[in-house]
């Protein structure tokens, strides 16, 4: 049973504290487990702090997403094969991610939110941000992919030539 009025204080990795409704935190497998492990009485209002390994700025974005998705069904549905598609991100989520485009470190923000969603076990947010990253990679050149995924080429020219030769099976 989830009591919507219950509130949980989250302490971030950079020392900030944020108090949020349990209605939001129920979407985080990590926070729910932490609360359960505290063995809080059903009728109590748990103000115990749950330490989350996420910085304040990223947690605020996570909470913004959770607020919009507070009524999403739980448990998050298991993904079927068909749901590999990355072009079905809801409009609100698309706008949410596009807001980061104005930030200088847009790529870092996306990575931080993906990592936070993974650590906090928020499946819906993780799925959406992975789709966003997939869309960023889609159709890009190798150099652009390296930039997006923050990769350094460690192949020799001969190794690259060999892989290009293999990839040439694909004519278009």
Partner 1 sequence: LALPNVILRDLLKKIEVKDRLRLRLSCRSFEKLVAETNAGFFLVGTITPANYTPYIEDQSLGVISIQFGSAEFKLDSTEDKFDQFVQFRERIFTGISFDVFVITIRNSSIFLNFVRNIIHKFQIKELHIANLETEAQLEWMLQVMADFPTSKYHSTLSFLPETAKLLALPQMEYLEISEFDFQHIPAELFFNLLHLHTNLHLADVVLTSDEWIRAIQILSSDDRLRRVTLWVRGSNVVANQAACGITEATEGGHGGGEIEVVTPHSDSEDMVSFRYRKCKVFIDHFY
The helix or strand, by DSSP H or E, that contains position 60, with its residue range, turns out to be helix 56-68
Which of helix, strand or coil describes residue 17?
strand
Q: Which stretch binds partner 1 (CB under 8 A): 53-61, 67-75, 94-102, 162-170?
A: 162-170
Residue 113's CB: how many other CB atoms inside 10 A? 25
Identify whether the C-beta of residue 52 lies closer than 8 Å to the C-beta of residue 31.
yes
Residues composing the chain: 172
Applying CB under 8 A, does 139 fall inside the site for partner 1? yes
Measured distance CA(143)–CA(79) in Å, rounded: 31
* By the rule CB under 8 A, 77 interacts with partner 1: no
Q: Which is nearer to partner 1, 42 or 171 (CB)?
A: 171
118, 120, 124, 158: residue in contact with partner 1 (rule CB under 8 A): 118
- For partner 1, the binding residues (CB under 8 A) are 81-86, 111, 114-115, 118, 126-127, 130-131, 133-134, 137-142, 145-146, 149-155, 160, 163-164, 166-167, 169-172
């Amino acid at each position: 049973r989830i009591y919507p009025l219950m509130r949980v204080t989250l302490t971030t990795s950079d020392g900030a504290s944020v108090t949020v409704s349990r209605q939001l935190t129920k979407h985080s497998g990590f926070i729910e487990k932490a609360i359960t492990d505290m063995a809080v009485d059903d009728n109590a209002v748990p103000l115990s702090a749950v330490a989350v390994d996420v910085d304040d700025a990223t947690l605020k974005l996570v909470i913004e997403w959770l607020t919009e998705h507070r009524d999403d069904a739980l448990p998050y549905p298991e993904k079927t094969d068909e749901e590999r598609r990355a072009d079905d991100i809801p409009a609100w989520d698309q706008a949410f991610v596009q807001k980061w485009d104005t930030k200088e470190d847009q790529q870092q923000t996306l990575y931080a939110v993906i990592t936070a969603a993974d650590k906090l076990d928020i499946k819906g947010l993780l799925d959406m941000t992975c789709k966003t990253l997939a869309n960023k990679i889609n159709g890009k050149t190798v150099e652009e992919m390296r930039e997006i995924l923050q990769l350094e080429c460690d192949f020799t020219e001969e190794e690259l030539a060999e892989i290009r030769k293999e990839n040439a099976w694909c004519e278009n």
